[in-house]
Structure 1
Amino acid sequence: MNKTFKIYAAIFIIIMVILALLEVNKKEVTDWRKNFDPNEKSPFGLFVFNEEVNHLFKNNLKKINQTPYDFYGQNKKNLHNILIIEKEIDTESWKKILSEVSKGSDAMLIVSQVPQKVSDTIGYYDSQVSFSDESVLKLTDKKYRNDFIRLDKFPSGRSFTYIKPEVEILGKTVEKSSSDHADFIKTKFGKGNIYVHCEPLFLTNYYLLQPGNIKYTQDVFSYLNDRETLWFIDNDAKVSRFFMRFILSKPALKYAWWVLLGGLVLFIFFNAKRKQRVVPIVEPLKNTSVDFVKSIGNLYLQEGDFHDMMAKKAQYFLNKVRMELLIDTQNLDSEFAKKLHLKTGKTMEMINEGIDLIKKAQDPYSSVMKEDLGKMNKILDEILK
């Protein structure tokens, strides 16, 4: 057994001992996240409601594991109730829901927020948030005045504002430090009705398990007609497709996985540090193209043959016009100038001046100067810029 293996074994044992001690001394932590998952037993899950919902709806409820868009695209239903509980709904599914309601079905949306277009259709423009630590949910109907729920754990504080006159207020949120706010409304839509409750916490495990709170829930759902109710859950959308989901879902396997990864990282780190070869310094290849161009340019300047340089510049310019702008350069007439003007956007004055210099460069008997070369370079480069 070599020294390196002993080091790795000691590190591994130390890590395992530390993890074991942490696991033994770990206290159970309550998950207070608002997940609204029908299968979740945490305080803000819907496990209790999911277990009692069939009794609540007199065994006339059907759970749908599809989006409303997919379900109604495949099924034609008679008049029924639609139930949505704190769930993201795509735009096309909202359209399907509103279409079913307009035919005479009823929809109950127990959601903290809905898209702006849908809320405008329902009859309110926005929802406001209060930061009170405690509030009470109650219904406005006098026969339900003794049925209420006290929210003492993380109330969202949401309520409706800018409610249209034709909307009926069925429930309110009562706070000590402020006036009552509407949290449960009803509006007519086509032949059906839409009910919206913006505080879904009253359906969670924490509140349903408290004595007397179930009565408020029964009162809320009593507004729906006694007929088939479709609860759109779409659980499959929440199931992780990650190939490691099973390992990461089990604490013991998750710890083992991270320890394995940590061991591999340490192994790679120590081996790479000891075995990596010295990286030789490789001088990058020198780009001699620029030096070559400078040398050729200096030769032309020393020779002083400005006419030849202008001719080559004109030849290069015309070739570029043919290849990139697809303009025939055989005749440098007004038609050529017009096409060049349209494709480059340069002024006709500049283009005509450039054409004159090109013709001068192509004339073997013309007399040119250094200034003509500089002027030509500047104008032709500007035209193709």
Structure 2
Amino acid sequence: MRGYRLYALVLGVLFAVFVAVEYYRPKPIDWKQTFSNKDKIPYGTFVLFELLPDLFPDQPVASVRLPVVNQIEEGNALAKNNSAPLVNYVFVNGATDVSKLDLQALLQFVARGNNVFLSSHTFSRPLQDTLGFKTDFTKKGLKQDSLGLVFTHPQLQQLKPVLYEREKASRIITIDSKRKAKVLGKNSVGDTTFVQISYGKGSFYLSSVPLAFTNYHVIDPAQTRYATQALSHLPVRPVWWDEYQKQGAVGSKSVFRVLLSHEPLAWAYYVTLGGLLLFVLFESKRTQRIIPIMEKPKNTTLEFVRVMGNLYYNHRNHRVIAEKKINYFLEYLRLHYFENTNVVNEELEERIFAKSGVALADVTELFRLIQHVNMVDRLEEQHLWNLNKQLESFYRQASR
């Protein structure tokens, strides 16, 4: 019992050390582009979301986890009670997926005087067709490793361009010639990256460089001002920060959301967990270990010999058997008489004769048979029989 406790203690200590090492060792950097405000990885937006209260002072900032239609309907319900001010609806995504139903709600939302800020690599087709724009990769400055981003506002265009790696700032926005839009930002080769499209009393703000709003670039002193200056084009209003397109609805990823949403199912779940816990506690008590039945060891030597004999008999490769017997015989000479068997000649035969006490004629005949085996490619059964007979005779005479 003491030995068992000692082993359990050692295993417990080793497990605790393993957990501590795994917990405190540096975790590899996750370069996934999530654009989520809960992620502190390089391409999350945790830092920018924390800065929003400073960019929009004295205004509430809410993280939205509802579909566009549902979120706007809630805002409309408040607006009917004259308790909802105009807001800025902010989207920062790798790909902005706006369905026709969502787009219709957004258009009505903006027409009433609200603003929608969309920064994304790609935009859904209904949104592009309705607002009259499309995105593409710039064809200019192909040999440049980096591209600068600038604003067209008179107070901002005097500042130096904010440089980004080319692949992060190569997306551009092209406006339909029939659509009136205000260009707010360009890259260093003259392509548009940031525009304002008026719709009713409000506006859509479109940006093609969403990575500029992620943690990696916002915390960089040389690049942080681009994100803040881009959002400064929005009026100071309450902010809705969309997380539905990145995290989904609240609880949508929980495997127990159905169970916990109904009280009877939730109680059944808790009772089941409690029962399992009690079962583990009571079954963990010491019980008599089952004594295994020890079977008497069997001598399988004869079975092995029979199997190997049948194997060689079926193949009838007499030369392989002869080689094994010869190798065993040479090993016997090395171990018992300390002779070098690399060269088999008359001198070796005489030394074996002197040390073993076997008749010289028998030793000579044995080495002749060995030489014959080494010279032929295929050995007849009679030669194998003679070799085996001569070897057995040698072992009997040498052991006297």
Given residue 150 of structure 1, which amino acid in structure 2 is its aligned partner?
L
- Regions of 4+ moved over 4 Å: 129-133
Structure 2 letter corresponding to 1:44: Y
Secondary structure of 2:69's counterpart equals helix
Residue 167 of structure 1 aligns with which residue?
181
Output the CA distance in 1 between the equivalents of 2:49 and 2:241. 10
| Corresponding position of 1:40 | 39
* Residue 79, structure 1, aligned to residue 78, structure 2: no
Pairing 1:135–2:147 present: yes
Cα distance, 1:232 vs. partner?
Answer: 2.2
1:334 maps to none
- Identify the residue that residue 92 of structure 1 maps to in structure 2: 101
The 3 A distance-change label for structure 1 pair 89 and 125 is closer
- Partners of 1:136 and 1:149 within 8 A in 2: yes
Cα distance change, pair 97–155 in 1 and its aligned pair in 2 (3 A):
same
Question: Which amino acid letter does the alignment assign opposite residue 171 of structure 1?
Answer: G
State the TM-score, normalized to the length of structure 1: 0.51
Does 2:198 align with 1:205? Answer: no
Instruction: State the distance in 1 between where 2:229 and 2:192 align.
Output: 16
State the superposition RMSD in angstroms: 3.7
Residue 126 (structure 1) shift: 3.9
Q: 1:92 to 1:133 in 2, by over 3 A?
A: farther
Alpha-carbon distance in 2 for matches of 1:221, 1:230: 13
Compared CA separation, residues 53 and 32, structure 1 to 2 (3 A)? same
Question: 1:182 — aligned with what?
Answer: 192
Match of 2:115 in 1: 106
Q: Hey, what does 1:149 align to over in structure 2?
A: 162
Q: Structure 2: give runs of 5+ residues left out of the alignment.
A: 1-14, 80-84, 257-400
2: CA distance, partners of 1:228 / 1:148: 29
Distance 2:66 2:122 in 1: 21
Answer yes or no: is the 8 Å Cα contact 2:87–2:114 preserved in 1.
Answer: yes
Considering only CA atoms, is the larger Rg found in Structure 1 or Structure 2?
Answer: 2
**Identity rate, percent:** 21
Residue 51 of structure 1 aligns with an amino acid whose one-letter code is E
| Structure 2 SS opposite 1:184 | strand
Q: Any idea what SS the aligned residue of 1:226 has?
A: coil
Aligned residue for 2:43, secondary structure, equals coil
CA contact (8 A) 1:107 1:193 kept: yes
How many angstroms does 1:217 deviate by? 2.2
Q: Structure 1: how far apart are the matches of 2:175 and 2:45?
A: 30
Cα 1:116–1:53 shift into 2, 3 Å: same
The 1-side partners of 2:67 and 2:160 are apart by 33
User: 1:148 touches 1:213 (CA, 8 Å); kept in 2?
Assistant: no
Give 1:170-319 correspondences, 5 Å limit.
170-174=184-188, 179-234=189-244, 235-237=247-249, 240-242=253-255
**CA distances 1:69-121 after superposition (whole Å, capped 9, x unpaired):** 01222332343322111154443222211111112222111122221221122
SS of the counterpart of 2:109?
helix
Q: Residues 162 and 236 from structure 1, CA distance in 2 versus in 1: closer, same or farther, beyond 3 angstroms?
A: closer
TM-score by length of 2: 0.50
Partners of 2:138 and 2:191 within 8 A in 1: no
Residue 169 of structure 1 aligns to a residue in which SS?
strand
SS at match of 1:75: helix
On the 8 A contact 1:149/1:202 being kept in 2, the answer is no
Give the Cα–Cα distance (whole angstroms) in 1 for the partners of residues 250 and 36 of structure 2.
9
**Partner Cα distance (2:162, 2:60) in 1:** 24
Deviation at 1:216, TM superposition (A): 2.3
What is the SS of the residue equivalent to 1:187? strand
Q: Name the CA distance, whole Å, in 1 between partners of 2:67 and 2:102.
A: 7
Residue aligning to 1:30: 29
C-alpha separation between the residues in 1 aligned to 2:52 and 2:27?
29
- The alpha-carbon distance between structure 1 residues 192 and 211, as it changes in their structure 2 partners (threshold 3 A), is same
